[in-house]
A and B are shown apart, each in its own frame.
Chain A
Amino acid sequence: MRSLLRHLLTAALPAIIALSHVANAAQGSADWADVEKAARGQTVYFNAWAGDATINRYIAWAGDEVQRRYGVRLVLVKVTDIAEAVTRIQAEKAAGRTTGGSVDLMWINGENFASLKAAGLLYGPWVDSLPNARFLNASDPTQETDFTLPTAGLEMPWGGARFTLFYDSAAIKSPAPQDPQSLLEWIRAHPGRFTYPQPPDFIGSSFLKQLLLLLVADPARLQQPVAADFDSVTRPLWAWLDAAHPQLWRSGRTFPRSLPDQRRLLGDGEVDWLLAFNPSEGARAIRARELPASLRGMHFARGALGNSHFLGIPFNASASAGARVVANFLLSPEAQARKADAAHWGDPTVLSMGALNPADRKRFDVGAQGAAWPAPVPLLLEPHPSWTPALERAWSIRYGTR
């Protein structure tokens, strides 16, 4: 009797599991239908760094689409640094505003995510409830953790990034340096022609981390928080910088403020290099006629610092349903493919090609990305977030005060 039952159960199990999946899926899609219903007519205030006309146009396109398809009005709130929005949410929490917040959706990663998560300022987890979340690339470690912190469904991967160096091939005819040592030799041979944005600028700090990952004896150590061994771990980095700085632009006494600042220096011919976090930056700048067509991109051969950038919803968002609908649309193969196309933005997708059906996969065949696109190299994960402020502080004590 018992064995019969077991037999029956065993036979039925797959069916039961399948049924429950169907039920779950039905449940899920019913829930999602509710979300879409709630979202209709909502206005979503999307706070994003909006310093790039190309990105703004892409977001405007998405706004038109979600208005047409879901009746959601998307308003881009332009910030010069997403930290402004983070401080606003903090101020709202301090003032006791737990609903009706001024931010509905925000573009974040790294330290911003760490601050928001630590202070409990994020809505969710919500990412797994999005229908398009099933296309996400589960094998990409930069989506699971954001600067080593588990994302825990509190932020949705939106795009990928790899630290990239661009140089003017009209000025650098011989093969470009492939590792820190040969870059240092190049800098010594060409005084005044290399520089990097001053930390704590995002790109400048990333450059320090990229160098550290290549120079440090044990890269795995960087996945753990900063501890008393900071000085000994980072010693090779300071040695490299000590050697390079006297030969940098302005003898390393002044640094560009930001990527755009350095882009102007390259465009004007004051330096030969540009550092960026988006491999498409070169192709974009050439198309926008900001930089010469002789620009070429490269990664250090041993690996490029990489991360993902994300979308988050504040705990007190006024239109969280609308925000989720917008996020789901931005995750759709259609929106991701358009974003990956250098003609519209050139931001690497977060979707897994294997999870897509052939028709959707085809959307990503946009052909050659241009000569300024760097050849792929292995991924180097972001260090634990505690390394960023520690490196910035150490940098500013060593180089920021003379």
Chain B
Amino acid sequence: MKRASVVLLLLIGVMPVVAGFIGTVMGAVSVPAWRELLAEPGLLHASLLSIGTGVASTLLALAVAHMAVATAFLQQRAATLRLAALPALATPHVAIAIGLVLLLAPSGLLLRAVSPWATGYEQAPDWATVQDPFGLALTLGLIVKEVPFLILVLLGGLSQVPADRLMIQGRVLGYGAFKTWFVAVAPLLHRQSRLATVAVLVFGVTNVEMALVLGPTTPPTLSLLVWRWFTDTDLAIRSQAYAGALLMLLISALVVALLAGAAHAVLSPRWRAWATNGHRAPSLRLDGLASRNVGRVVLGLGGAATVALLIRSVGGAWRFPAVWPARLSIAAWTQGLQDMRAAVAASITVGLVAAVIAIGIVLAVAEVLHDRPLARRRFAMLLFIPLVLPQMAFLFGLQTVLIRLGMDGQWTGVLWSHLLFVLPYAWVVLAEARAQLPPGYRIVARTLGAGPLTTWVNILLPQLLRSILVAAGLCFAVSMALYLPTQFAGGGRIVTVTTEAAVAMSSGDLRSAASYGVMQALLPLVVFAVTAWISRALFADRKGMPA
């Protein structure tokens, strides 16, 4: 019985990825395919672009997130920061990317606001502020999207770290806040967030959605090249696409290994020397103008992008340099809300069912493994494969598996493919939470004669409820945002808000795309709000309970 839950989790969460991956490897076993791939014009340039934007965005996003979390912690505003990060986390990548274009492009809101009175431009200038050849706009877009995620991960880690005590100890020893934080607290946080950082890095190197909107086109990133080959109807190109997906995997692995190596070889000794040099550095403050505001600027950009999208959703033709659309129309919204009903229903159903199943399985396995940290760590690695593997490296193979099982285009197939991506998040939140429950209560209950199930329901479940609610919100938000997995497993027959948004976006129908994008952000926020409300209502008279 105990073993059954573990097997079930492996079967649902790991097996399909492995099967899909094997399918990809098989597809790439072909010498001509690799020769074609390596002869592809611009392959090196495209690969470098992928690496550069991925690495730069990850490092900068990590720095910004650390800075924002540190200042928020010192000013005791962690809860506010969490709230501020949620909307951007829930807003889909494509929506943020399009919003940034509407903001930053030469005909975008920023330049309109100062034209022509300050710039003299009656016509939009021919500047490459988005889709620039170096991928700067793409890097910025990735930062805007990943900072909120990293902030939430770090805040989550903060609750597992004795930060208050460490800060006080540092201060007692005369160290400035900045140095204390980065010597004593940040490394502990970083250890908690390593897997998440790897996921961000791999996403940065391999993402399709953001590169499509913000990235350069001559050449595009490697991910876009591979995506183009996969969607080409010419079967001969398919093996080249599989080879490209493998190349992407190799590059991601190499980048992760190199960065980890560099951090170990270069950063660690310097950090150690700095940490132990005895300088108290009291003048290095954390509440300087830059560190206080860099997080706000990034989160603010995300917000501004959403606002730009909203304005566009009600505006029609809109010549530069008008700051406001010539006429407003809510047609896209009234029409859209009607068309949206089925997609919204599908999104909610799949998201909720996926969350419930994931939480149930993870709780069962967490119970089995709660006193085996090594096994837990190995499990986490397995479950994280779908997050750290480029999606294209296994989704095409997975599609074939689903077709063989007769589950493609079915609701169950979509649910399963969502579970692959939802399970690791449920695991992150719940497995450690379960492991860190003090064993005393359970032992007392068992000593008093309660059976294992009674003990779990009456003693452990109440202590885990908060984490369960957090996991539910997170799982729902993750499921909500999945595009490629939905499209592959659903075969276009299962329509969610996210697939509809992509269709609208690809057709350039910004008005309906914006309304779908807003809906995409709204649904997870509602679920977050509901879980927060339940949590508060349940714990109103349980002040002493662990969070």
Which chain A residues have a beta carbon within 8 Å of chain B's beta carbons?
Answer: 45, 47, 50-53, 75, 77-81, 83-88, 90-92, 94-97, 102, 111-112, 115-116, 119, 191-192, 198, 200, 249-251, 253-255, 257-261, 263-265, 267-270, 288-292, 389, 393, 396-397, 399-402
Contact = CB atoms under 8 A, between A and B. Distances in A.
Contacts of B126: 191-192, 249-251, 270
Nearest to B237: A389
Contacts of B216: 253-254
B317 A119 contact: no
Given A84-B231, A264-B508, A254 B41 contact: no
Contacts of B232: 83
A343 to B, nearest CB: 16
A111 B316 contact: no
B234 to A, nearest CB: 6
Given A51-B507, A269-B319, A269-B320, A257 B217 contact: yes
Nearest to A295: B317
Contacts of A96: 404
B508 A254 contact: no
A84 B319 CA distance: 35
13 contacts: A47-B492, A77-B493, A79-B503, A80-B503, A83-B233, A112-B233, A192-B126, A250-B128, A255-B218, A260-B509, A268-B320, A401-B42, A401-B45
Contacts of A259: 508
A59 to B, nearest CB: 13
B487 interface: yes
A401 B107 contact: no
Given A115-B233, A198-B217, 4 more contacts: A80-B502, A253-B216, A254-B217, A260-B506
B235 A88 contact: no
B506 A402 contact: no
B508 A261 contact: yes
Contacts of A112: 233
Contact of A87 (B45, B133, B231): B231
A81 B228 CA distance: 11
A80 B506 contact: yes
B230 A87 contact: yes
Contact of B42 (A90, A119, A396): A396
A254 B231 CA distance: 22
Contact of B123 (A79, A255, A269, A399): A269
Contacts of A116: 233
A268 B318 CA distance: 5
B361 interface: no
B508 A51 contact: yes
Contacts of A198: 217-218
B491 interface: yes
Contacts of B396: 91
B217 to A, nearest CB: 5
Which of A91, A253, A259 is the most central at the interface, judged by chain B CB atoms within 10 Å of its CB? A91
Interface string B102-126: 0001110000000000000001101
Contacts of B319: 267-269, 292
B493 A402 contact: no
A45 B493 contact: yes
A255 B219 CA distance: 11
Contacts of B105: 268, 270
Contact of B508 (A258, A289, A393): A258
Interface in B467-522: 487, 491-493, 495, 499-500, 502-504, 506-510, 512
Nearest to A260: B508
A51 B219 contact: no
A363 B451 CA distance: 79
Contacts of A88: 399, 491-492
Contact of A78 (B133, B233, B316, B500): B500
B218 A253 contact: yes
Nearest to B399: A91
Q: 7 closest Cβ contacts across the A-B interface?
A: A260-B508, A51-B507, A401-B42, A289-B316, A268-B107, A192-B126, A80-B506
How many B residues are at the interface, by size bracket?
35 or more
A119 B234 CA distance: 10
B372 interface: no
B234 A389 contact: yes
Interface in B312-326: 316-320
A51 B45 CA distance: 32
Contacts of B293: none
A400 B317 contact: no
B506 A258 contact: yes
Contacts of B124: 268-270
A95 B492 contact: no
A50 to B, nearest CB: 6
A285 B212 CA distance: 24
B408 interface: yes
Contact of B492 (A79, A289, A397, A402): A79
A83 B230 CA distance: 9
A237 to B, nearest CB: 18
A200 B220 CA distance: 12
A263 B510 CA distance: 11
B403 interface: yes
B235 A102 contact: no
A85 B492 contact: yes
Contact of A53 (B107, B233, B329, B512): B512
A253 B320 contact: no
Interface in B278-326: 316-320
A208 to B, nearest CB: 15
A52 B217 contact: no
B159 interface: no
B335 interface: yes
A289 B403 contact: no
A106 B510 CA distance: 25
Contacts of A97: 403
Given A254-B218, A255-B218, A396-B41, A87 B233 contact: yes
Contact of A401 (B41, B335, B404, B493): B41
A267 B403 CA distance: 43
Interface string B193-237: 000000000000000000010001111000000001011111100
A400 B403 contact: no
A317 to B, nearest CB: 13
B224 to A, nearest CB: 10
Contacts of B106: 270
Contacts of A260: 506-509
B131 A102 contact: no
Which of B45, B106, B212, B228 is the most central at the interface, judged by chain A CB atoms within 10 Å of its CB? B106
Given A47-B492, A52-B509, A289 B218 contact: no
A269 B232 CA distance: 33
A112 B235 CA distance: 11
Contacts of B45: 401
Contact of A264 (B42, B132, B499, B510): B510
Contacts of A91: 396, 399-400, 403
B3 interface: no
Given A80-B503, A115-B235, A254-B216, A267 B399 contact: no
B409 interface: yes
Interface string B14-47: 0000000000000000000000000001100100
Contact of B212 (A250, A257, A292, A401): A257
B416 to A, nearest CB: 16
Nearest to B44: A401
Contacts of A192: 126
Contacts of A393: 41
Nearest to A115: B233
Contacts of A289: 316-317, 327, 329
A253 B233 contact: no
A185 to B, nearest CB: 19
A186 to B, nearest CB: 16
A77 B329 CA distance: 28
B212 A50 contact: no
Contacts of A397: 41
Interface string B440-457: 000000000000000000
